[in-house]
Amino acid sequence: MSTTYTIDSSTSRATPVSAPMKRLTVPAIRKRKGGDPLVMLTAYTVRMAQLLDPHCDMLLVGDSLGQVVYGLPSTIPVTLEMMAAHGAAVVRGSYHSLVIVDMPFGSYEASPQQAFESASWMLKQTGAAAVKMEGGTAMAETVRFLTERGIPVMGHVGLTPQAVNALGGYGARGRSQEEASAIIDDGRAIAAAGAFALVVEGVVEPIAIELTRSIDCPAIGIGASAQCDGQVLVAEDMLGLFERTPRFVKKFEDMAGRISAAVEAYAGDVRSRAFPGSEQTYAPKN
DSSP β-bridge partners for residue 59: 41, 99
Range in contact with ligand KIV (rule: CB under 6 A) among 56-64, 120-128, 189-197, 261-269: 56-64
221 interacts with ligand KIV by CB under 6 A: no
From candidates 59, 190, 199, 238, binder to ligand KIV by CB under 6 A: 199
Please give the Cα distance from 222 to 205 (Å, whole number).
11
Contacts of 243 (CB under 8 A, 6+ apart): 256
Please give the Cα distance from 48 to 236 (Å, whole number).
10
x-marked contacts with ligand KIV along 224-263 as a string, rule CB under 6 A: --------x-x-----------------------------
Other C-beta atoms lying within 10 Å of the C-beta of residue 101 = 30
CB of 4 to ligand KIV, least distance (A): 30
From candidates 53, 57, 102, 210, binder to ligand KIV by CB under 6 A: 102
Catalytic-residue membership of 201: yes
Cα-only R_g, the chain = 21
160 interacts with ligand KIV by CB under 6 A: no
Please say which residue, 102 or 186, places its beta carbon nearer to ligand KIV: 102
CB of 7 to ligand KIV, least distance (A): 33
Please give the Cα distance from 173 to 186 (Å, whole number).
13
CB of 32 to ligand KIV, least distance (A): 18
Please say which residue, 193 or 199, places its beta carbon nearer to ligand KIV: 199
Please say which residue, 102 or 210, places its beta carbon nearer to ligand KIV: 102
Catalytic residue among 134, 201, 210, 236: 201
Please say which residue, 40 or 204, places its beta carbon nearer to ligand KIV: 40
Amino acid at the residue 115: A
Cis peptide, bond prior to residue 276, ω within 30 of zero: yes
269 φ/ψ angles, rounded to the nearest 5 degrees: -65, -40
Q: Which helix (H) or strand (E) holds 200?
A: strand 197-201
At 158, is the secondary structure helix, strand, or coil? strand
Please give the Cα distance from 151 to 161 (Å, whole number).
23
From candidates 49, 62, 154, 240, binder to ligand KIV by CB under 6 A: 62
Kindly list the residues in this chain that would bind ligand KIV in the complex (CB under 6 A). Answer: 42, 60, 62-64, 102, 199, 201, 222, 232, 234
Show which residues are catalytic: 201
